[in-house]
Amino acid sequence: MSRRGFLGLAGAAAGTAALAACAGSGGGTQGGDSKTITFWSNHPGTSKDQEIELINRFQAKRPDLKVNLVDAGKNYEEVATKFNAALSGGELPDVVIVSDVWWFNYALNGAIEPLDSHFSAAGVNVGDYVDTFVNDYKFNGKTWALPYSRSTQIFYYNKDVWAKAGLPDRTPQSWTEFDEWGPKIQSVVGDGKWAHGWGDAKNYLAWTFQGPCWTFGGAYSDEWKLKFTDPATLAAGNYLRDSINTKKYASIRPTYAVDFGNGIIASAIGSTGDLKSINTNAAGKVQFGTGFLPHPNGLAGCTTGGAGLAIPSRISDARKKNALEFIEFITNAANTSYFAQATGYVPVRKSAQQDPGMQDFLTKNPNFKTAIDQLPLTKPQNYARVFVPGGDQIIGTGLEQIGLQNRDTAAAFGDIANQLQTIIDRQITPKLPK
């Protein structure tokens, strides 16, 4: 294992311990100011200006309430660290942004409020949220957050390279088909460039590889049962290993979005949230298209990601009601449409797709429309990545070892499974509903 890989695992373990120690501990019930809504955000997708606009719209509707936007960190992890500190006795926010890999531990420890019993009073029509997005926050029959800055993955490809390789102007229908295309694309791009680039562990390799794993018939887990030793999961890992180390048409690229925009890689799986920056980087250099991730026989080949908004459980009922009204408002059809157009995130409401402004935007930006059209081929993520503290980095580090060090797939996946199982047994199973 490289020093970087070791430090990644050490960091994941330390983060896991800290999270287990902090979430849900200390701090009494807080009454707070029921006329002020404190919103902790990392402004995903450089969205601070948009969040201020959403707050202004809300305060125009509810002049009796004041919203205080707090810079809670530069990323989801920093927000989680700040929230953990507040749970140990600091001042709690009314609304906190929680990523796909952080909310579950808070729910398990009772640190955030199940929202279902509050929906009616706050006027929330939960059925209007995109099913996959809202289902990502369900556990034990309850809804623990509502979707906000949500994304899916799309397949980005260089149209000029595709044409020179004699390929159809579309994304591959399966990873087996792409395995046939890869060497052709590589012969076009030449040395020092690659047909395909994957993000590294820090750039959510475990997230982007989850869908491909499904299409091989594998999975990271089936609820709490780990699946890393299944032949189909191993086949997916061997595909990744061979494409990088044997056929040499793929590479792990920490800056894959920048590399794609600069023509260093000819294709990549990226978030819809990358679309804005890729458009900027590729302008005048790369003509690119987007399409669905490979999904043979209609299989779900794509996961969702991003963040939702949660409410701490220990604030007063009056604050909870105001907080949920605020969440409902900034994620309504008009506002999620506005937020999506400005940031590249996917509208979280079904009705937003009928918003005139959104329809006009999609007509003018067909690459963005790909993500919305692909939603029926998405499904919630495997527990192993999003419900196990540190799971994302543990899986991503193992995949990185396969790609960068040509490590044996079965050995790498065996180590992943052992680490995850230990965390499940010690930190999760004792707290699960009986």
What averages of pLDDT result for each successive group of 10 residues across the chain (434 residues)? Answer: 29 40 47 85 94 98 97 94 94 96 93 97 96 92 97 95 98 98 98 96 93 97 97 98 98 94 96 85 92 94 94 96 98 96 93 92 90 91 95 97 98 98 96 87
Rg (CA), the chain: 22
The closest of 168, 153, 167, 134 to 210, measured between CA atoms, is 153
Distance between CA atoms of residues 99 and 104, nearest Å? 9
pTM over 0.75: yes
The residue behind tokens 């120690």 is 21
Distance between CA atoms of residues 307 and 360, nearest Å? 26
Walk me through the domains of the chain, giving residue ranges and CATH numbers.
Answer: 36-151+305-377 (3.40.190.10), 152-303+384-431 (3.40.190.10)
Which pLDDT score is estimated for 33?
65
Distance between CA atoms of residues 360 and 166, nearest Å? 33
Distance between CA atoms of residues 46 and 133, nearest Å? 21
Amino acid identity of residue 301, one-letter, is: G
Which pLDDT score is estimated for 136?
92
Strand partners, 251: 197
Which pLDDT score is estimated for 32?
63
- Please count the other Cβ atoms lying within 10 Å of the Cβ belonging to residue 272: 27
Give pLDDT tens digits for 305-356: 999 999 999 999 999 999 999 999 999 999 999 999 998 899 999 999 889 9
Compute φ and ψ for 23, nearest 5 degrees: -60, 125
Which pLDDT score is estimated for 26?
45
